[in-house]
Structure formats: structure tokens, C-alpha cells
Amino acid sequence: MSLAISIDLEDSHREFTLRSHRPNDDGQLNLIFHGTKFMYEGTRHSEIYRGRLYDASAAKDGGREVVCKFAYGKRTIKYLEKEMQFYEGKLQHLQGVYIPICHGYFVGQSHEGRTACLVLDYCGEPIEDAFSELDPTFKTAILHAALAIHDAGVMTFDWAERNVLNYGGLPMVIDFDEAEPHKCERTMPVIEGKPAPRCTDFGCSEIWQLVEDLRLWKPNTIRFLGVYYPLELAYDPHKLAAKAPKHMSPEDAYKEARRTIIEHGKRYYPETVKAWRDKKSKENKQTSRQPTKQAAKDAKKKSAKRAAKVATKPRTPTPQP
């Protein structure tokens, strides 16, 4: 199988043909790639172009929108070949779900010398926002993709916003040239909204760091006077205040600890804080409307005294006509 490549840009035109890396693909259909947009240059000697892929043996229709990742030179080709092996190996079942569909890997000669090309479906552009600023649903989808990739036995070593595409509201993960085979040793599920476990307890540093970057966990520490302390101290302002510098008075340390705990709650547990405040407000209103037990007893005693006084007071005889 061959790939006839034609790249037409405003200031240049190039044509060359590459062949499938598999020797037994010779009898298969031939493909044509017409590139019309230079997307970006890779970190190594590589280039990515966007265009359309056609079946050379069929009537030319609209084709399929794809990207071609070109690598030039022995060292760069080695990385691209490694990426291809993951697409066609451990990650093959994730194509079209969490990673782009791969249409082949081709090698040969071009104006740059030894050349290789990986053809992938075009699946949108890289996300623009930081992981922490993404929509919650999109964050969860990224986590599912990462877990699926790890469960397939691959560690990417390159989780970054530039390697996550927005494919119609769903993430597609790309760039596996630095990936390595991996047996994920995470020991627990990721429970969103819970305090983060320690990385050593979680068992997988890459997933742990990604979840931290996505801010799917609540922090397991509290920042008090510029220092991070275990979250357990947030339950008692006296214990947190005890961590204050010695030059700080106990009263000021307690006030600052209480303020820190309240601000921490507002930021990371706003719903819990609101529910607690609503409950306290309701209790205060009920307390202000209802007399206390002691007040009720006092009122009862006064009422009894008045009744006794009335009962013992001698009555003035009513004059008879």
C-alpha cells in the first residue's frame, strides 16, 4: 500500500510517495493525501499537516479529514515508529473512543531525506483552557480516557493541555512518542470531590498528578500562615493555631486559624458551609421565638403565685339593698 502525498500551501508545493511499513501490504489499496494546512512543527524534526485522505482506486469524493505527522531523520523516525506501535498495539481498541483512528504508517524518501508519516483522523484542536479551568464534565471524560490508557498498559509521560483535543465536546488524547509500557499499580478508585490521598498511597504517580491538575480532588492540606498542614487540623482551630509562630499571640493565632478554616471551607466546600450556615440561622430564629426552659419555669412560677394570691385575698362583701 502506498500513500501519494501532495502538499499545497500558499508559498510552496511538494509531492512524494511513501509506502506502508508492512511488506505484506503491497496488494492493498493506495491512498492519496492532499495537505492544505500546516498545523505546527514538532519539538523534534517533525511537521504536522492537515488535509484530506482519499482512496486512489475509488471515485474522488469528499475524502476524510486527517492529519499527517511527518518525521525526518533516523532519530525522529524512531520516536514516530514507537508512537505507531502503540496505536496499532496496546491502544488499538481505544481508537475512535479516546484516541484518533490511525490510517497507517508509511516510510520512504522525500525532499528531507529519510521520511516517515503517521496518518490519523483529524479530531479537533488542542484545548485552550488549563486542566483546572475546564468544564467538570470534560474533566471527568479526560480522567476516563487516562484510566483507559493506563488499563491498556501505557503511560504517556506527557499529560499536557496541548495533547488533549476537543472533539465535539469529548477529549481525544494524542502524542505517544514518549510513552512506555506500564502496569498501573493504583490501589484505589478516583472519587471526585473527596480529599486527595497521598501519592504513595494511591499507587500511580501519573494518574495522581493528572487528577491533581484537573482539581477533581479536594486538597488534603490547609494553608495556614504560608505553610501547608494536614487537613485534620482544619477541624479544630485551637490545634491549627498551635502551629503559629511563637511571636504571635494566642488570641491572634486563634483568630487567624478560625478565619483560615472558614475561608478554606468557602473555597473547597461551599455547599457544606452554606448548609451549615442555613442550619445555624434556622436554629437561632427558633431560639429567639421560643423561651428557654428556665424562662418557661420562671413564667410558670409567676403565674402560680398570682393565682395563689388571688385565691387567698379576702373578698369584700357586696352591700345589700
Annotate 88-146 with three-state secondary structure.
HCCCHHHECCCECCEEEEEEEEECCEEEEEEEEECCCCECCCCHHHCCHHHHHHHHHHH
Indicate the pLDDT class of residue 299, thresholds 50, 70 and 90: low
- Quote the cell numbers at residue 144: 476516563
- The whole-number average pLDDT for the span 269-278 is 70
- The whole-number average pLDDT for the span 121-128 is 96
Count CB neighbours of 258 within 10 A.
14
Query: pLDDT at position 267, please?
Result: 83
* Residue 137 scores a pLDDT above 90: yes
The DSSP code sequence of 294-312 is HHHHHHHHHHHHHHHHHHH
**Coil, strand or helix: which one is 178?**
coil
Query: What is the C-alpha to C-alpha distance for residues 91 and 151, in angstroms, rounded to an integer?
Result: 10
* Residue 191 scores a pLDDT above 60: yes
* Residue 250 scores a pLDDT above 80: yes
- Quote the cell numbers at residue 12: 510552496
Q: Which of 49-58, 195-204, 268-277 is predicted least confidently?
A: 268-277
Domains and CATH numbers, the chain: 2-121 (3.30.200.20), 131-214 (1.10.510), 221-284 (no CATH)
* Residue 192 scores a pLDDT above 90: yes
- Phi, psi of 141, deg, nearest 5: -65, -40
* Residue 312 scores a pLDDT above 70: no
What is this structure's pTM?
0.75
